[in-house]
Chain A
Amino acid sequence: MTWDEVLSVVQDETATVLPGVTARQVTPDVTLSELGANSLDRMDIVVGSQDVLGVSVPAAAFADVGNVRQLVDVLHGHCGTT
C-alpha cells in the first residue's frame, strides 16, 4: 500500500462522511475541521479508513495529527511495507 493509496482511502472516507465535500477537496495540507468535520465525524473518517485498509491503530497514535498529511502518515506507518 503506497502513501498515495492511503491518501485516496482517506479522501473517499471523508467524502462519504461529510455531506457536500468531494474527494478532491481533501488535500494533504487541509485539516478535517476546516472541511467541516466535528469530533464524531473525525472518528468516523479515521475508523472508516482503518476498516478499508484492514488495519487497527491505537487511538493514541493520532494524538498529534493535525492535517490530512499527518493522518495519512500515521495510517501508512501501520500498513506495513512501501
Chain B
Amino acid sequence: MTAVDAVITAMAVRTSVGDTIEELAAALRDGRGGIRAASLPDAARVSAAAYLPGPADEPELVLSGRSTRPTRTAVRVAREAATAAGLGPGALARTAIVIGGNNLALDYQAQVAVRMSCGDGRVRPSHALAHLDVDAVGAVSEATGATAEGCLIGGASASGTLALIHACRLLALDAADHCLVVGALAELSVAEYRALADSGALAAASDEPPGDVCRPFDSGRRGFVHGHGTAAVVLERAGTARARGARPLAAITGLAQRLDGKRGTRPSADGQAATIAAALESAGLLPGDVDYVNAHATGSQLGDATEAESLARVFGAGPLVNATKELTGHCLSGSGVIEAVATVIQLRDGFCHPNPNLRSPADPRVSYVGRKAVDAPLRVALSTSFAFSGINSAIIVTRSVQDD
C-alpha cells in the first residue's frame, strides 16, 4: 500500500509520430521520429520541428471550430480518453479536468496582434474567450460532460507532469473520483523560436537533415527541437476503477515536485536529484527498484548534462534511460503527459524505445538504451519533467498486474 493511489484507465494522443496509442507504440518500438523541415520565416532561425500531420483545422469539430489549436487538440484527446474509459453520466459528474500548460496559443496571439496592427485591423469578438488558455477547460468540459472541478496547471515544460501530480492529489482528497488529465499542445510564435534559438536552448537553423538535429544525451547535441503534441489520460483510485470494472493500464505510485529557489533558465542537478529521491520515497522505493527512466532530456547542452549528472547521482548506472523527445520533439506543456503515455506503453509491451541519434553519449555513467530498442520486462519506471524557473517534477509509473 502506498500513499499515492491512482491508476491510468484510458489514454489518447496526438503527436507527430502517432494519432493513436498503437501508432505511437509502433513508432516508439521502431525509433521513428516526426521531426521534419519546418517552413518558418527566416527570422525564427529554426529549420526543424515535429508538427502534427494533416490540416491544422479540424472542421468536423463544430463545438471548438472557433477556438485555438491547443484547445481543439485538447478536445480531441480528452474526448477519446473519456470515451475509452467508459465514463457514464454519473461518473462524469465526479470527473475533474486538469489541463497541463500555460501560454499555449502563442502563434495565434502573435497573428492576431499582427492583423490588428499591420493587417486589416480586424479582430473577432470571440478573441475575448479564445485568447485565454482556460477556453480549453470549458471546451473539454462541454465535449466530454465532465463537470467536477477543472483548471489549468502552468509550469512551462513541466506542466504535463504537474497536471498528473495535481490530479493524483485531487483523487487523494476525494475531490473527484476520476480525473481527465490533458498535456496541452503549446505553440511558439516566430518571436519565441528566435529567442529560444538565440539563447542556445533550441537548435538553431542548419543544413543538416531535420531528423538528425535532436540528439538527447549525445556529445553532438545542440538544442531541442519543438514539437506539437498533446495527450490525455484518465486517472482514478484503484478501488474506484475496480468497482466499475475498468482495467488499469498502469499505476502512478509516486510523485514529487520541488523548486530550485531561483529565477531563470538554468537547471540544477541538486534540485533534480532531490526531486527524484522524493518521488522514490513517496512510492516507498529504493533507486535499485527502478527499471527504466523516461528522461526529460530535450537535447539541450546544459539541460542534458545536468540531467545525466542527477541520474548518475541517484541511480549510478542502474536503470535504462531514453529520451522520447528525440522522436516527438519537445512538446513543452504536452510533454509530461505524452511521456507518461509513452512510459505506460513501454511497461505494457516490455521494451525501451531506442534513440537513433545517440551515437556518442556525452556522459557514460548512465545506462542509455541507445540506438536499438531493448526488450526488457519492465515493472517500475520514473518519468521526469524539468522547467524554466527552477521547477522539477517526477512521477513513478508502475506496471499494473491484473488482480493486483
Give A contacts to B, CB under 8 Å: 17-20, 36, 40-41, 43-44, 47-48, 51
Check B89 for interface membership: any CB of A closer than 8 A. Answer: no
Closest CB-CB distance, A76 to chain B, in whole Å? 21
Q: B209 in the interface, Cβ–Cβ < 8 Å? A: no
**Chain B window 56-99, contacts with chain A (Cβ cutoff 8 Å), 1 for yes, 0 for no:** 01011110011000000000000000000000000000000000
Which residue of the partner chain B has the closest CB to A52?
B122
Alpha-carbon distance A36/B63, docked complex (angstroms) = 9
Indicate which residue in B62, B120, B124, B125 contacts A19 across the interface (CB closer than 8 Å).
Answer: B62
Interface string of B310-342 (1 = CB under 8 A from A): 000000000000000000000000000000000
Determine whether the beta carbon of B62 is less than 8 Å from that of A48: no
B120: A residues at CB distance < 8 A:
51
Contact assessment for A44 and B66 in the assembled complex, using a CB-CB cutoff below 8 Å: yes
The listed residue (B62, B66, B128) touching A20 by CB distance below 8 A is B62
Q: Which of B60, B122, B125 interacts with A40 by CB under 8 Å?
A: B125
The answer to whether A48 and B126 have CB atoms under 8 Å apart is no
B59 and A20: CB pair below 8 A? Answer: yes
The complex places the Cα of A41 from the Cα of B343 at a distance, in Å, of: 40
Minimum Cβ distance to chain B for residue A15 (Å): 12
B113 beta carbon closer than 8 Å to chain A? no
Number of A-B contacts (CB under 8 A): 34
Q: Are B126 and A19 in contact (CB under 8 A)?
A: no
Given A18-B65, A20-B59, A40-B66, A48–B122 Cβ distance below 8 Å?
yes
A–B pairs, 16, beta carbons within 8 Å: A17-B66, A18-B65, A19-B59, A19-B65, A20-B59, A40-B128, A41-B66, A43-B125, A43-B126, A44-B66, A44-B124, A44-B125, A47-B124, A48-B124, A51-B120, A51-B122
B65–A40 touching, CB < 8 Å: no
**Measured CA separation A36–B60 after assembly (Å):** 12
CA separation between A47 and B61, bound complex, in Å? 23
Beyond the given A40-B128, A48-B122, please list 13 additional residue pairs across the A-B interface where CB-CB is below 8 A.
A18-B65, A19-B57, A19-B59, A19-B60, A19-B61, A20-B60, A20-B62, A40-B125, A40-B129, A41-B66, A44-B66, A47-B124, A51-B120
Chain B residues within an 8 Å CB radius of A41: 66, 126
Residues of B within 8 A of A17 (CB): 66, 124
Question: Which chain B residues (98-156) contact chain A, with CB distance < 8 Å?
Answer: 120, 122, 124-126, 128-129
In residues 17-73 of chain B, which contact A (Cβ within 8 Å)? 57, 59-62, 65-66
Chain A minimum-CB-distance residue to B125: A43
Docked CA distance A47–B122 (Å): 9
